[in-house]
A and B are shown apart, each in its own frame.
Chain A
Amino acid sequence: MPKKKKILLRAYIVFAAMFAVAPASNAMHIMEGYLPAGYCVAWGVICLPFLIAGFISLRNKVKENRRNLILIAMSGAFIFVISSLKIPSVTGSCSHMTGTGLGAILFGPASVSVLGIIVLVFQAVLLAHGGLTTLGANTFSMAIAGPLVSFGIYKLCCHTKVNRKAAIFLAAFLGDIFTYCVTSIQLALAYPSEAGGVAASAVKFLGVFAPTQLPLAVIEGILTVVIMIGLETYAKPELKSIGFLRDTPGKQPPCLHERIFAGQRTANDSCRELSEVSRDRIGEAKHPYPIDRKEA
Protein backbone atom coordinates (compact mmCIF):
# COMPACT_ATOMS: atom_id res chain seq x y z
CA MET A 1 0.00 0.00 0.00
CA PRO A 2 2.31 2.71 -1.23
CA LYS A 3 -0.28 5.46 -0.92
CA LYS A 4 -0.73 4.91 2.78
CA LYS A 5 3.02 4.80 3.22
CA LYS A 6 3.38 8.07 1.44
CA ILE A 7 0.89 9.62 3.80
CA LEU A 8 2.86 8.10 6.63
CA LEU A 9 6.04 9.67 5.38
CA ARG A 10 4.35 13.03 5.22
CA ALA A 11 3.12 12.59 8.76
CA TYR A 12 6.65 11.83 9.80
CA ILE A 13 7.98 15.01 8.20
CA VAL A 14 5.24 17.11 9.80
CA PHE A 15 6.02 15.45 13.09
CA ALA A 16 9.68 16.34 12.77
CA ALA A 17 8.87 19.88 11.70
CA MET A 18 6.56 20.28 14.70
CA PHE A 19 9.39 19.70 17.07
CA ALA A 20 11.55 22.23 15.30
CA VAL A 21 9.46 25.01 16.81
CA ALA A 22 9.71 23.65 20.34
CA PRO A 23 10.98 26.17 22.89
CA ALA A 24 14.67 26.78 22.28
CA SER A 25 17.15 27.02 25.08
CA ASN A 26 20.58 25.77 25.97
CA ALA A 27 20.75 22.11 26.74
CA MET A 28 23.29 19.34 26.87
CA HIS A 29 26.96 19.56 25.93
CA ILE A 30 29.63 21.05 28.14
CA MET A 31 29.48 24.80 27.66
CA GLU A 32 32.21 26.97 26.21
CA GLY A 33 34.92 27.81 28.72
CA TYR A 34 33.65 25.42 31.37
CA LEU A 35 36.51 22.95 31.09
CA PRO A 36 40.08 23.80 32.12
CA ALA A 37 42.43 24.07 29.12
CA GLY A 38 44.35 20.91 29.98
CA TYR A 39 41.21 18.80 29.82
CA CYS A 40 40.17 20.39 26.53
CA VAL A 41 43.43 19.40 24.90
CA ALA A 42 43.42 15.94 26.45
CA TRP A 43 39.90 15.11 25.23
CA GLY A 44 40.78 16.46 21.81
CA VAL A 45 43.82 14.20 21.60
CA ILE A 46 41.76 11.18 22.67
CA CYS A 47 39.27 11.92 19.91
CA LEU A 48 41.84 12.21 17.13
CA PRO A 49 42.46 8.50 16.42
CA PHE A 50 38.72 7.86 16.28
CA LEU A 51 38.21 10.72 13.86
CA ILE A 52 41.03 9.53 11.61
CA ALA A 53 39.71 5.96 11.68
CA GLY A 54 36.24 7.27 10.93
CA PHE A 55 37.44 9.35 8.03
CA ILE A 56 39.28 6.41 6.50
CA SER A 57 36.36 4.06 6.95
CA LEU A 58 33.94 6.55 5.39
CA ARG A 59 36.26 7.08 2.44
CA ASN A 60 36.57 3.35 1.90
CA LYS A 61 32.80 2.93 1.98
CA VAL A 62 32.34 5.64 -0.60
CA LYS A 63 35.09 4.20 -2.77
CA GLU A 64 33.51 0.76 -2.57
CA ASN A 65 30.23 2.04 -3.92
CA ARG A 66 29.32 5.66 -4.46
CA ARG A 67 25.72 4.94 -3.59
CA ASN A 68 26.77 4.36 0.02
CA LEU A 69 27.05 8.13 0.20
CA ILE A 70 23.26 8.37 0.30
CA LEU A 71 22.93 6.46 3.54
CA ILE A 72 25.91 8.28 5.01
CA ALA A 73 24.22 11.58 4.21
CA MET A 74 20.96 10.34 5.65
CA SER A 75 22.45 9.24 8.94
CA GLY A 76 24.30 12.55 9.16
CA ALA A 77 21.05 14.38 8.50
CA PHE A 78 19.37 12.28 11.16
CA ILE A 79 21.91 13.54 13.71
CA PHE A 80 21.26 17.09 12.48
CA VAL A 81 17.52 16.77 13.00
CA ILE A 82 17.52 14.83 16.23
CA SER A 83 20.14 16.94 17.97
CA SER A 84 18.35 20.17 17.08
CA LEU A 85 15.06 19.08 18.64
CA LYS A 86 14.76 20.34 22.17
CA ILE A 87 12.13 18.40 23.92
CA PRO A 88 10.51 19.20 27.26
CA SER A 89 11.02 16.57 29.88
CA VAL A 90 9.45 15.46 33.15
CA THR A 91 11.85 17.52 35.26
CA GLY A 92 10.56 20.78 33.82
CA SER A 93 13.62 21.48 31.73
CA CYS A 94 14.44 20.88 28.09
CA SER A 95 17.15 18.79 26.60
CA HIS A 96 17.89 17.27 23.24
CA MET A 97 18.91 13.90 21.94
CA THR A 98 22.03 12.79 20.13
CA GLY A 99 20.74 10.91 17.10
CA THR A 100 24.00 9.05 16.69
CA GLY A 101 22.45 5.62 17.20
CA LEU A 102 21.35 5.24 13.57
CA GLY A 103 24.76 5.96 12.11
CA ALA A 104 26.45 3.73 14.66
CA ILE A 105 24.22 0.79 13.78
CA LEU A 106 24.65 1.31 10.04
CA PHE A 107 28.30 2.31 9.74
CA GLY A 108 29.98 1.51 13.03
CA PRO A 109 31.17 3.87 15.74
CA ALA A 110 34.23 5.32 13.98
CA SER A 111 32.31 6.74 11.03
CA VAL A 112 29.77 8.40 13.28
CA SER A 113 32.49 10.38 15.05
CA VAL A 114 33.05 12.28 11.80
CA LEU A 115 29.33 12.91 11.29
CA GLY A 116 28.91 13.92 14.92
CA ILE A 117 31.74 16.43 14.91
CA ILE A 118 30.17 18.24 11.94
CA VAL A 119 27.01 18.79 13.97
CA LEU A 120 28.97 19.80 17.06
CA VAL A 121 31.00 22.38 15.13
CA PHE A 122 27.81 23.77 13.60
CA GLN A 123 26.25 24.18 17.03
CA ALA A 124 29.39 25.48 18.69
CA VAL A 125 30.12 28.16 16.10
CA LEU A 126 26.63 29.32 15.14
CA LEU A 127 24.59 28.61 18.23
CA ALA A 128 27.06 29.10 21.09
CA HIS A 129 25.85 25.70 22.10
CA GLY A 130 28.60 23.48 23.38
CA GLY A 131 31.81 25.21 22.38
CA LEU A 132 35.03 25.15 20.43
CA THR A 133 37.21 24.73 23.51
CA THR A 134 35.02 21.90 24.79
CA LEU A 135 34.66 20.39 21.32
CA GLY A 136 36.99 17.51 22.14
CA ALA A 137 35.11 16.55 25.28
CA ASN A 138 31.71 16.88 23.60
CA THR A 139 32.87 14.89 20.58
CA PHE A 140 34.08 12.14 22.85
CA SER A 141 30.81 11.88 24.76
CA MET A 142 28.35 12.33 21.91
CA ALA A 143 30.15 11.09 18.82
CA ILE A 144 32.45 8.39 20.19
CA ALA A 145 31.37 6.95 23.55
CA GLY A 146 27.63 6.93 22.80
CA PRO A 147 27.92 5.35 19.34
CA LEU A 148 30.41 2.81 20.68
CA VAL A 149 27.81 1.64 23.17
CA SER A 150 25.04 1.68 20.54
CA PHE A 151 27.16 -0.40 18.18
CA GLY A 152 28.14 -2.85 20.91
CA ILE A 153 24.56 -3.28 22.14
CA TYR A 154 23.27 -3.81 18.62
CA LYS A 155 25.90 -6.43 17.80
CA LEU A 156 25.26 -8.16 21.12
CA CYS A 157 21.52 -8.22 20.44
CA CYS A 158 22.13 -9.65 16.97
CA HIS A 159 24.20 -12.48 18.42
CA THR A 160 21.57 -13.28 21.02
CA LYS A 161 18.86 -13.17 18.33
CA VAL A 162 16.80 -10.43 19.95
CA ASN A 163 14.07 -8.97 17.76
CA ARG A 164 15.73 -6.49 15.42
CA LYS A 165 13.47 -3.57 16.22
CA ALA A 166 14.00 -4.11 19.93
CA ALA A 167 17.73 -4.28 19.31
CA ILE A 168 17.71 -0.97 17.42
CA PHE A 169 15.63 0.66 20.15
CA LEU A 170 17.92 -0.57 22.91
CA ALA A 171 21.03 0.49 21.04
CA ALA A 172 19.82 4.05 20.44
CA PHE A 173 18.33 4.34 23.93
CA LEU A 174 21.42 3.16 25.80
CA GLY A 175 23.76 5.10 23.52
CA ASP A 176 21.90 8.30 24.36
CA ILE A 177 21.96 7.58 28.10
CA PHE A 178 25.62 6.68 28.01
CA THR A 179 26.45 9.98 26.28
CA TYR A 180 25.13 11.79 29.33
CA CYS A 181 26.92 9.48 31.73
CA VAL A 182 30.18 10.31 29.98
CA THR A 183 29.39 14.03 30.07
CA SER A 184 28.80 13.77 33.82
CA ILE A 185 32.08 11.96 34.32
CA GLN A 186 33.92 14.51 32.18
CA LEU A 187 32.55 17.35 34.27
CA ALA A 188 33.27 15.42 37.47
CA LEU A 189 36.90 14.85 36.46
CA ALA A 190 37.34 18.57 36.00
CA TYR A 191 35.35 19.47 39.11
CA PRO A 192 35.79 16.83 41.81
CA SER A 193 33.75 17.78 44.85
CA GLU A 194 35.65 18.48 48.05
CA ALA A 195 33.92 15.74 49.98
CA GLY A 196 33.99 12.48 48.03
CA GLY A 197 36.08 13.49 45.03
CA VAL A 198 35.31 12.56 41.43
CA ALA A 199 32.74 9.85 42.15
CA ALA A 200 30.54 12.01 44.36
CA SER A 201 30.75 14.81 41.84
CA ALA A 202 29.83 12.48 38.97
CA VAL A 203 26.75 11.32 40.85
CA LYS A 204 25.75 14.96 41.37
CA PHE A 205 26.09 15.83 37.68
CA LEU A 206 24.31 12.64 36.70
CA GLY A 207 21.52 13.67 39.02
CA VAL A 208 21.07 16.80 36.93
CA PHE A 209 21.18 15.13 33.52
CA ALA A 210 19.69 11.67 33.99
CA PRO A 211 16.07 12.40 34.95
CA THR A 212 15.76 14.90 32.11
CA GLN A 213 17.37 12.60 29.62
CA LEU A 214 15.61 9.31 30.33
CA PRO A 215 12.30 10.05 28.56
CA LEU A 216 14.19 11.71 25.72
CA ALA A 217 16.33 8.64 25.26
CA VAL A 218 13.12 6.65 24.87
CA ILE A 219 11.98 9.08 22.14
CA GLU A 220 15.35 8.78 20.43
CA GLY A 221 15.04 5.00 20.48
CA ILE A 222 11.57 5.22 18.98
CA LEU A 223 12.56 7.63 16.21
CA THR A 224 15.56 5.50 15.30
CA VAL A 225 13.32 2.44 15.00
CA VAL A 226 10.87 4.42 12.85
CA ILE A 227 13.51 5.56 10.39
CA MET A 228 15.02 2.08 10.26
CA ILE A 229 11.61 0.63 9.38
CA GLY A 230 11.42 3.19 6.59
CA LEU A 231 14.89 2.34 5.32
CA GLU A 232 14.33 -1.40 5.50
CA THR A 233 11.14 -1.02 3.52
CA TYR A 234 12.42 1.30 0.81
CA ALA A 235 16.21 1.17 0.75
CA LYS A 236 17.02 -2.53 0.83
CA PRO A 237 19.64 -2.39 -1.95
CA GLU A 238 21.48 0.40 -0.13
CA LEU A 239 21.38 -1.43 3.18
CA LYS A 240 22.76 -4.53 1.47
CA SER A 241 25.44 -2.48 -0.18
CA ILE A 242 26.81 -1.26 3.15
CA GLY A 243 26.61 -4.80 4.50
CA PHE A 244 23.83 -4.09 6.96
CA LEU A 245 21.34 -6.51 5.44
CA ARG A 246 22.28 -9.86 4.00
CA ASP A 247 20.46 -11.77 1.29
CA THR A 248 18.11 -14.27 2.83
CA PRO A 249 17.64 -16.89 0.11
CA GLY A 250 14.53 -19.01 0.09
CA LYS A 251 12.54 -16.69 2.31
CA GLN A 252 10.34 -15.34 -0.41
CA PRO A 253 10.74 -14.86 -4.15
CA PRO A 254 12.72 -11.63 -4.57
CA CYS A 255 11.09 -8.94 -6.61
CA LEU A 256 12.68 -7.84 -9.84
CA HIS A 257 15.00 -5.11 -8.62
CA GLU A 258 16.37 -7.40 -5.94
CA ARG A 259 17.10 -10.06 -8.53
CA ILE A 260 18.98 -7.53 -10.59
CA PHE A 261 20.98 -6.49 -7.56
CA ALA A 262 21.65 -10.12 -6.75
CA GLY A 263 23.06 -10.54 -10.25
CA GLN A 264 20.51 -13.09 -11.45
CA ARG A 265 19.42 -12.96 -15.05
CA THR A 266 15.99 -11.58 -15.61
CA ALA A 267 13.85 -10.45 -18.45
CA ASN A 268 15.31 -7.06 -17.81
CA ASP A 269 18.85 -8.12 -18.57
CA SER A 270 18.69 -7.10 -22.17
CA CYS A 271 17.72 -3.63 -21.05
CA ARG A 272 20.59 -3.57 -18.61
CA GLU A 273 23.11 -4.71 -21.19
CA LEU A 274 21.90 -2.03 -23.48
CA SER A 275 22.49 0.56 -20.81
CA GLU A 276 25.96 -0.82 -20.22
CA VAL A 277 26.80 -0.47 -23.86
CA SER A 278 25.71 3.11 -23.73
CA ARG A 279 27.72 3.60 -20.58
CA ASP A 280 30.83 2.33 -22.29
CA ARG A 281 30.23 4.82 -25.03
CA ILE A 282 29.44 7.79 -22.85
CA GLY A 283 31.91 6.88 -20.16
CA GLU A 284 31.19 5.78 -16.65
CA ALA A 285 31.27 9.18 -15.04
CA LYS A 286 28.53 10.61 -17.20
CA HIS A 287 26.16 7.70 -16.92
CA PRO A 288 23.20 8.68 -14.78
CA TYR A 289 22.73 5.30 -13.08
CA PRO A 290 26.06 3.49 -12.96
CA ILE A 291 25.55 -0.23 -12.57
CA ASP A 292 28.07 -2.12 -10.53
CA ARG A 293 30.51 -3.87 -12.83
CA LYS A 294 30.95 -6.83 -10.48
CA GLU A 295 27.37 -7.81 -11.00
CA ALA A 296 27.54 -7.66 -14.74
Chain B
Amino acid sequence: MTKNTKTVIILLVIAVLIAVIPVAALRGAEFGGSDDAGSVMVEEIHGEYEPWFTPVLETAIGGELPGELESLLFCVQTGIGVGVIAFFMGRFVERKKWMKKMGEEDAPD
Protein backbone atom coordinates (compact mmCIF):
# COMPACT_ATOMS: atom_id res chain seq x y z
CA MET B 1 0.00 0.00 0.00
CA THR B 2 1.48 3.33 -1.00
CA LYS B 3 1.72 6.29 1.29
CA ASN B 4 -0.97 8.15 -0.61
CA THR B 5 -3.39 5.25 -0.38
CA LYS B 6 -2.97 5.17 3.36
CA THR B 7 -3.47 8.91 3.66
CA VAL B 8 -6.62 8.77 1.56
CA ILE B 9 -8.12 5.94 3.59
CA ILE B 10 -7.36 7.64 6.90
CA LEU B 11 -8.79 10.93 5.65
CA LEU B 12 -11.99 9.30 4.39
CA VAL B 13 -12.49 7.47 7.68
CA ILE B 14 -12.10 10.74 9.58
CA ALA B 15 -14.59 12.45 7.25
CA VAL B 16 -17.16 9.68 7.73
CA LEU B 17 -16.69 9.78 11.49
CA ILE B 18 -17.22 13.54 11.63
CA ALA B 19 -20.48 13.11 9.75
CA VAL B 20 -21.73 10.02 11.57
CA ILE B 21 -20.85 10.80 15.18
CA PRO B 22 -23.39 13.65 15.57
CA VAL B 23 -26.18 11.38 14.35
CA ALA B 24 -25.29 8.71 16.88
CA ALA B 25 -24.58 11.16 19.67
CA LEU B 26 -27.67 13.33 19.29
CA ARG B 27 -30.46 10.78 19.16
CA GLY B 28 -33.81 12.33 18.40
CA ALA B 29 -32.36 15.59 17.10
CA GLU B 30 -34.29 16.99 14.20
CA PHE B 31 -31.42 17.71 11.82
CA GLY B 32 -33.29 20.53 10.17
CA GLY B 33 -31.45 22.99 7.97
CA SER B 34 -29.46 25.87 9.36
CA ASP B 35 -31.20 28.04 6.77
CA ASP B 36 -34.42 27.71 8.70
CA ALA B 37 -32.53 28.69 11.81
CA GLY B 38 -31.35 31.72 9.82
CA SER B 39 -34.86 32.80 8.94
CA VAL B 40 -35.96 32.29 12.55
CA MET B 41 -33.15 34.62 13.53
CA VAL B 42 -34.33 37.18 10.97
CA GLU B 43 -37.76 37.16 12.56
CA GLU B 44 -36.26 37.46 16.01
CA ILE B 45 -34.36 40.58 15.04
CA HIS B 46 -36.82 42.13 12.66
CA GLY B 47 -40.17 41.03 13.99
CA GLU B 48 -42.63 39.19 11.73
CA TYR B 49 -41.12 38.88 8.28
CA GLU B 50 -42.95 37.95 5.14
CA PRO B 51 -40.60 36.96 2.27
CA TRP B 52 -41.42 39.29 -0.61
CA PHE B 53 -40.72 36.79 -3.33
CA THR B 54 -41.65 33.13 -3.57
CA PRO B 55 -39.35 30.68 -5.36
CA VAL B 56 -40.10 30.33 -9.07
CA LEU B 57 -40.73 26.63 -8.82
CA GLU B 58 -43.20 27.04 -5.96
CA THR B 59 -45.11 29.59 -8.03
CA ALA B 60 -45.06 27.23 -11.01
CA ILE B 61 -46.36 24.14 -9.22
CA GLY B 62 -48.52 26.12 -6.81
CA GLY B 63 -47.08 25.00 -3.52
CA GLU B 64 -43.97 23.72 -1.85
CA LEU B 65 -41.89 21.06 -3.52
CA PRO B 66 -42.67 17.65 -1.93
CA GLY B 67 -39.82 16.31 0.18
CA GLU B 68 -39.37 13.21 -1.93
CA LEU B 69 -39.04 15.21 -5.13
CA GLU B 70 -36.61 17.53 -3.45
CA SER B 71 -34.39 14.66 -2.45
CA LEU B 72 -34.68 13.34 -6.01
CA LEU B 73 -33.43 16.62 -7.40
CA PHE B 74 -30.60 16.73 -4.90
CA CYS B 75 -29.64 13.22 -5.97
CA VAL B 76 -29.70 14.33 -9.59
CA GLN B 77 -27.31 17.12 -8.69
CA THR B 78 -25.00 14.72 -6.89
CA GLY B 79 -25.31 12.24 -9.71
CA ILE B 80 -24.25 14.75 -12.34
CA GLY B 81 -21.24 15.71 -10.27
CA VAL B 82 -20.15 12.19 -9.37
CA GLY B 83 -20.68 11.06 -12.95
CA VAL B 84 -18.38 13.71 -14.40
CA ILE B 85 -15.69 13.20 -11.77
CA ALA B 86 -15.80 9.41 -11.96
CA PHE B 87 -15.73 9.39 -15.77
CA PHE B 88 -12.64 11.54 -16.06
CA MET B 89 -10.96 9.95 -13.05
CA GLY B 90 -11.51 6.55 -14.64
CA ARG B 91 -9.95 7.77 -17.87
CA PHE B 92 -6.96 9.19 -16.04
CA VAL B 93 -6.39 5.97 -14.10
CA GLU B 94 -6.57 3.85 -17.23
CA ARG B 95 -4.34 6.27 -19.13
CA LYS B 96 -1.65 6.09 -16.48
CA LYS B 97 -1.75 2.32 -16.54
CA TRP B 98 -1.50 2.30 -20.32
CA MET B 99 1.29 4.85 -20.42
CA LYS B 100 3.26 2.86 -17.89
CA LYS B 101 2.93 -0.27 -19.98
CA MET B 102 4.10 1.54 -23.08
CA GLY B 103 7.01 2.97 -21.16
CA GLU B 104 8.13 -0.42 -19.96
CA GLU B 105 8.03 -1.90 -23.44
CA ASP B 106 9.86 0.95 -25.12
CA ALA B 107 12.35 2.19 -22.60
CA PRO B 108 12.46 0.55 -19.22
CA ASP B 109 13.39 3.21 -16.66
Task: State in angstroms the CA–CA spacing of A5 and B82 once bound together.
Answer: 17
The 7 A-B pairs with the shortest beta carbon distances in the complex, nearest first, are: A33-B51, A80-B81, A256-B103, A92-B29, A81-B81, A27-B33, A77-B84
Cα distance A283–B85 in the bound complex, in angstroms: 30
Please determine whether A94 and B33 come into contact, CB atoms closer than 8 angstroms. yes
Q: Quick check: which of A46-54, A141-149, A223-231 contacts chain B, the rest being far away?
A: A223-231
> Residues of B contacting A128 with CB < 8 Å?
55, 57-58, 64-65, 70
A208 to B30, CA, bound (A): 15
How long is the Cα–Cα vector from A278 to B35 in the complex, in angstroms?
58
Chain B residue nearest to A95 in the complex (CB): B34
Which of A84, A95, A229 has most B Cβ within 10 Å? Answer: A84
| Chain A contacts to B: CB under 8 angstroms | 1-2, 4-6, 8-9, 11-13, 15-17, 19-34, 36-37, 70, 73-74, 76-95, 119, 122-128, 131-133, 165, 187, 191-194, 201, 204-205, 208-209, 212-213, 215, 218-219, 222-223, 225-227, 229-231, 233-235, 238, 253, 255-257, 266-268
Q: Which residues of B are in contact with A by a Cβ distance under 8 Å? A: 1-2, 4-5, 7-9, 11-12, 14-16, 18-19, 22-23, 25-26, 29-39, 41-42, 44-46, 49, 51-58, 64-65, 67, 70-71, 73-75, 77-86, 88-90, 92-93, 95-97, 99-100, 102-103, 106-107, 109
A234 to B68, CA, bound (A): 38
Most central of B15, B56, B95, B96 by chain A CB within 10 Å: B15
List, sorted by A's number, 22 A–B pairs whose CB atoms are closer than 8 Å: A4-B5, A8-B9, A16-B82, A17-B78, A17-B82, A24-B71, A28-B34, A33-B53, A73-B84, A77-B80, A77-B85, A78-B81, A81-B81, A86-B74, A132-B53, A227-B85, A231-B92, A233-B4, A256-B107, A257-B96, A257-B102, A267-B106
The answer to whether A131 and B53 touch across the interface, beta carbons within 8 angstroms, is yes
A5 and B51 form a contact (CB under 8 A): no
Closest to B2 in A: A1
Partner of A84, one of B37, B42, B74: B74
Beyond A90-B25, A93-B34, A234-B95, 11 extra complex contacts between A and B, CB < 8 Å: A20-B82, A27-B33, A31-B35, A74-B89, A81-B81, A81-B82, A212-B37, A215-B19, A222-B12, A231-B92, A253-B109
CB distance from A175 to the nearest CB of B (A): 17
Contact flag A31-B38 (CB < 8 Å), given A20-B78, A230-B89: yes
Instruction: Give the CA-CA distance A123 to B74 in the complex, in Å.
Output: 8
Q: Are B102 and A268 in contact (CB under 8 A)?
A: yes
Contact call A13/B82, Cβ cutoff below 8 A? yes
- In the complex, the answer to whether B33 meets A26 with C-beta atoms within 8 Å is yes
Count, A-B residue pairs, CB within 8 A: 255
Give the chain B neighbours of A91 by CB distance below 8 A: 34
* Residues in B neighbouring A235, C-beta threshold 8 A: 92
Contact between chains at B32 and A94 (CB < 8 Å)? yes
CB distance from B95 to the nearest CB of A (A): 7
On whether the beta carbons of A31 and B51 are closer than 8 Å, the reply is: yes
The listed residue with most A CB atoms (<10 A of its CB), out of B8, B25, B51, B79, is: B8
* A31:B107 contact, CB within 8 angstroms: no
Given A92-B29, A133-B53, A268-B106, check contact A9 B38 (CB 8 Å): no
Complex: A204 Cα to B25 Cα, angstroms: 26
Would B52 and A37 count as touching, CB distance under 8 A? Answer: yes
Roughly how many angstroms separate A33 CA and B7 CA in the complex, as a whole number? 44
Complex-state Cα separation, A77 to B45, whole angstroms:
37
Among A16, A126, A133, residue most surrounded by chain B Cβ atoms (within 10 Å): A126
Q: Which single member of B2, B16, B65 contacts A127 (CB below 8 Å)? A: B65
